[in-house]
């Protein structure tokens, strides 16, 4: 197929999906486009990278300063989101009250700028992550928050998944690149294979969960159409995941899917989910001590024992002199002499520890690691109650939380404008405005179909 024809068909397919979505009249406002743009950028390439891809000069881009184009885009989205929230009159006190650990972690990140060697750079990076809670609060103050989340995920996939397939198959100059060891890798709409894996992990998890919801649609024709759409995207995502060769994303996706299935079993008592998780941890610990299952899994995935030099980098970064209590300051470890020292040894120039917990320790010290642990436990504690009130949303949150905990063993996602970090805020934050709808039954396209069926039955 000629590339031009493939491009035309892809654009037509995406427009069809958006038209179908809009005709279903989801209960969302036009403000949803702001977090959608935020998610599209964090899930693919920054604005400066897109412009450079198509031959537009954006000026010098450095690790410390970034790109002026990206700063303008992120600031515009954050400002637009803040304006929407101001119009909706959110209650800051309620945000703090319902998200104590998340607020404390967020504030500590800001305070840690004081002891950073690069305070201005750290401050600009902190401003960017302010966008995550702002975008999530836009979702949570929509007329139907659950429907807003589903619509956001679907529309993001409508763009990024088909175009990733298009780029890899028909525009290799855009969708392929060279890995750290000179090999040709598939990147899709992202900049490297790991980022493509992150995208597949997030959207694959969502469509698997959404597929289970589609099975509950009463109307056979509508159910068949929804199942077909979800299966189509799962097939494309699976193909992209295989092309990405991202073992971390693959394992994390399987873990998240397993949690969703396990929690949905009728004999599983949702009130005892904490005991199940504790039992699972004890079993995994015993199996690791007795049989070394992590090594077997690494071998089965075709990885070397060092996890592609990750374990050796871990040893090097721990040996660098920083404050073990406070760290180097918010997102400041990989700057200046510390970065240069590591780059002198590692020719592939790592810019993260490839371990989320170690990355937090390097930047925020033991205090930050303690806060992160409290945040994860606090979120899990709330999810236990959510499983009883709203099983479907509860198991979505729980599955993604545990998958992220696994994911961060070999990737660092508790930072920056990262797709996984953004979705983490979606499952981590709680906000219920007085007089607004709280999270209720699953809606979106499925909910609209159910409403039509109910209206017909009453008529």
Q: For residue 122, what pLDDT is reported? A: 93
Average pLDDT for the chain: 85
Cβ distance 68 to 59 under 8 Å?
Answer: yes
Cβ distance 367 to 325 under 8 Å?
Answer: yes
Q: Is 249 exposed, middle or buried (0-12, 13-18, 19+ CB in 10 A)?
A: buried
DSSP element (H, E) containing 401: helix 391-407
| Mean pLDDT along residues 3-27 | 91
Residue 148 has pLDDT above 90, yes or no: yes
DSSP element (H, E) containing 177: strand 176-178
Cα–Cα dist 140/145, whole Å: 5
Residue 134 has pLDDT above 90, yes or no: yes
CA 179 remoteness from chain centre: 23
Q: Where are the alpha helices (DSSP H) in 141-188?
A: 145-170, 172-175
DSSP 199-266: HHHHHHHHHHHHHHHHTT-SSHHHHHHHHHHHHHHHHHHHHHHHHHT-HHHHHHHHHHHHHHHHHHST
> pLDDT per residue over 260-300, tens digit each?
999 888 888 878 888 888 887 788 777 766 666 666 666 66
The SS3 of residue 268 is: coil
Q: Which of 245, 255, 157 is nearest to 206 (CA)?
A: 157
Residue 360, C-beta contacts closer than 8 angstroms, at least 6 positions apart: 327, 368, 369, 372, 414
Q: For residue 291, what pLDDT is reported? A: 63
Structure tokens at 290: 């007795």
Q: What is the pTM of this model?
A: 0.88
Between 286 and 28, whose confidence is greater? Answer: 28
% of the chain surpassing 70 pLDDT = 87
Q: For residue 311, what pLDDT is reported? A: 80
Q: For residue 180, what pLDDT is reported? A: 62
Cβ distance 262 to 414 under 8 Å?
Answer: no
Angle at 80 between CA 75 and CA 82, to 5 degrees: 95
DSSP element (H, E) containing 30: none
Domain ranges of the chain: 3-453
Q: For residue 357, what pLDDT is reported? A: 94
Residue 425 has pLDDT above 70, yes or no: yes
Cα–Cα dist 288/294, whole Å: 7
Cβ distance 408 to 357 under 8 Å?
Answer: yes
Cβ distance 372 to 105 under 8 Å?
Answer: yes
Cβ distance 17 to 236 under 8 Å?
Answer: no
| Mean pLDDT along residues 85-108 | 91
* Residue in the block written with tokens 């996706």: 253
Cα–Cα dist 50/282, whole Å: 46
> pLDDT per residue over 187-240, tens digit each?
999 988 889 999 999 999 999 999 998 888 777 888 888 899 999 999 999 999
Cβ distance 263 to 383 under 8 Å?
Answer: no
Q: For residue 270, what pLDDT is reported? A: 79
Q: For residue 23, what pLDDT is reported? A: 87
| Mean pLDDT along residues 67-86 | 93
**How many of the other CB atoms lie within 10 Å of CB of 446?**
22
Structure tokens at 183: 């090999």
Structure tokens at 80: 């637009």
DSSP element (H, E) containing 185: strand 184-186
DSSP element (H, E) containing 454: helix 444-458
Cα–Cα dist 418/42, whole Å: 6
Residue 55, C-beta contacts closer than 8 angstroms, at least 6 positions apart: none
The SS3 of residue 168 is: helix
Cα–Cα dist 265/267, whole Å: 6
Q: For residue 364, what pLDDT is reported? A: 95
> pLDDT per residue over 321-345, tens digit each?
888 999 999 999 999 889 888 888 8
């Amino acid at each position: 197929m000629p590339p031009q024809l493939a491009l035309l068909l892809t654009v037509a397919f995406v427009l069809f999906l958006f038209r179908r979505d809009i005709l279903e009249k989801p209960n969302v406002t036009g403000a949803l486009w702001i977090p959608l743009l935020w998610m599209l950028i964090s899930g693919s390439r920054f604005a400066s990278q897109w412009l450079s891809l198509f031959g537009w000069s954006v000026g010098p881009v450095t690790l410390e300063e970034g790109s002026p184009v990206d700063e303008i885009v992120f600031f515009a989205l954050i400002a637009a989101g803040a304006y929407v929230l101001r119009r909706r009159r959110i209650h800051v006190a309620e945000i703090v009250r319902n998200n104590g650990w998340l607020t404390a972690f967020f504030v500590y990140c800001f305070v840690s700028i004081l002891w950073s060697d690069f305070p201005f750079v750290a401050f600009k990076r902190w401003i960017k992550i302010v966008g995550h809670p702002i975008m999530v609060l836009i979702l949570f103050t929509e007329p139907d928050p659950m429907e807003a989340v589903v619509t956001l995920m679907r529309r993001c996939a409508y763009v990024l998944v088909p175009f990733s397939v298009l780029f890899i198959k028909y525009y290799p100059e855009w969708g392929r690149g060279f890995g750290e060891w000179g090999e040709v890798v598939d990147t899709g709409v992202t900049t490297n294979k790991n980022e493509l894996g992150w995208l597949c992990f997030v959207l694959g998890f969502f469509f698997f969960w959404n597929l289970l919801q589609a099975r509950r649609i009463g109307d056979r024709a509508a159910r068949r159409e929804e199942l077909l759409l979800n299966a189509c995207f799962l097939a494309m995502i699976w193909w992209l995941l295989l092309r990405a060769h991202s073992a971390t994303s693959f394992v994390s996706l399987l873990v998240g899917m397993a949690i969703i299935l396990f929690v949905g079993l009728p004999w599983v008592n949702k009130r005892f989910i904490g005991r199940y998780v504790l039992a699972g941890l004890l079993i995994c610990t015993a199996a690791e001590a007795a049989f070394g299952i992590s090594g077997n899994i690494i071998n089965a995935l075709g990885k070397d024992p060092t996890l592609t030099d990750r374990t050796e980098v871990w040893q090097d970064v721990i040996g660098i002199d920083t404050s073990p209590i406070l760290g180097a300051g918010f997102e400041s470890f990989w700057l200046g002499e510390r970065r240069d020292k590591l780059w002198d040894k590692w020719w592939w120039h790592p810019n993260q520890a490839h371990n989320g917990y170690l990355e937090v320790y390097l930047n925020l010290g033991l205090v930050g690691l303690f806060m992160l642990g409290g945040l994860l436990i606090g979120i899990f504690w709330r999810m236990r109650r959510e499983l009883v009130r709203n099983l479907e949303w509860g198991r979505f949150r729980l599955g993604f939380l545990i998958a992220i905990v696994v994911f961060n063993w070999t990737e660092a996602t508790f930072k920056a404008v990262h797709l996984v970090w953004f979705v983490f805020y979606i499952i981590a934050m709680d906000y219920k405005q007085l007089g607004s709808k709280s999270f209720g039954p699953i809606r979106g396209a499925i909910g609209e179909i159910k409403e039509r069926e109910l209206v017909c039955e009453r008529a």
